[in-house]
Amino acid sequence: MMILIEYGDKMKIVTEPTVTIIAKQVFLGHPDYPIPDDGNDATKIGAFAAKGCYDSFGAEGRANEENQLAILEHQHGSVLEHINFTLFIEGITRGLSLESNRHRPLAVSQRSTRYTAEEDASIVLEPYFAKLWNKYKPFIALEKDDITEIGDFNIDELNFIVSHISSLEESFHAYQKDVMWLMKMNPLSLSGFDLRKWARGKARNVLPHALETRITYTGNIRAWRWFIEARSDRHAEPEIRRLADVILNVLRKEADIYFSDFEVAEIYDDIPVWVPKYSKV
């Protein structure tokens, strides 16, 4: 669940991403080439594709789930490319999107900063900053007035997170002022939507990497497996590691058979490192 916290006049703070499956495929079957009835639509799609390679159709043939586990074991990853899931991701930074959008097998549709108003947008705290914010928020928000109530209190941590949040808020104020001045100057004599788009397109240069973005991604199972494997690695950037962990847990609810071989190798920087039994399928 994405956690939103108000800070200052309008700026909201997000401390976790939210991933929602908004679309998945339906297996319709073929009138002349039956397969067994076990498994969900994703498993049936994968099994049909695999059985087509060997002409091993038949309602009484090898079970679909058994077939797909063998596909993983033998690393026939091309079969997994027939199975797609579409995810809507919220609560990640535009900085993270520069990395996630490099996964070219994924189809990407991202929230625009040119066509949308960012005056009341949110900022996202990467894991370490989120940890500090959650620790000191009661004191910063004046919910508590005794700093001794905060366990393991560290004045440098408190000063840092306050300074960091204040800097982000200042960038939003600068954006609002730039939009106002640009719309007032209006050198192209624009109006309405065109004027707002023109002003926002220029003012967005002062917005921080921490600005929240929202993205719709469509990817096949092979692409999602690689995203999780690569971005869960301890050497990956912490925010995208946090996202990979959430994506894995969401996809497991719909297609567990394709992600059940992922196991936690270690907890690094408070985030699981997921390693698949069948790597780079």
What does the pLDDT look like over 203-230, one tens digit per residue?
999 999 999 999 999 999 999 999 999 9
38: left (phi over 0), alpha (psi -120 to 50) or beta: beta
Pairing mode, if any, of strands 212-220 and 262-268?
A: unpaired
Residues in the chain predicted with pLDDT less than 50, given as ranges, are 1-5, 7-8
**What integer pLDDT is reported at residue 55 of this predicted model?**
96
pTM: 0.93
Look up residue 166 and give its DSSP letter.
Answer: H
231 is catalytic: yes
What Å distances lie between residue 71 and 33, 118, 162, 257, CA to CA? 20, 46, 51, 11
| C-beta neighbour count of 149 within 10 angstroms | 11
pLDDT of residue 146: 66
Q: Cα separation of 29 and 275, whole Å? A: 33
Quote the CA–CA distance of 80 and 78 in Å, as a whole number: 5
User: Residues with Cβ < 8 Å from 238, sequence gap 6 or more?
Assistant: 126, 127, 128, 269, 271
Q: Are the C-beta atoms of residues 30 and 243 closer than 8 Å to each other?
A: no
The confidence score (pLDDT) of residue 2 equals 47
The reported pLDDT for the residue numbered 151 is 75
pLDDT of res. 251: 98
Q: What contacts 15, CB < 8 A, 6 or more positions away?
A: 3, 5, 124, 125, 130, 133, 134
pLDDT of residue 120: 74
Catalytic choice (94, 231, 241, 242): 231
- Count the neighbouring beta carbons within 10 Å of the beta carbon of residue 37: 10
**pLDDT, tens only, 109-136:** 999 999 988 877 899 999 999 999 999 9
The rounded distance, in Å, linking the Cα atoms of 23 and 85 is: 6
Dihedral, 150, 151, 152, 155 alpha carbons, nearest 10: 0
Compute the distance between CA of residue 281 and CA of residue 276 in angstroms, rounded to an integer: 9
d(CA 70, CA 278): 11
Structure tokens at 258: 């394709």
Sign of CA dihedral 248, 253, 254, 260: positive
Q: Give the angle 137-142-146 at the CA atoms, nearest 5°.
A: 90
The pLDDT of residue 4 is: 47
Report helix, strand or coil for 102. Answer: coil
Instruction: Determine the 3-state secondary structure of 4 from DSSP.
Output: strand
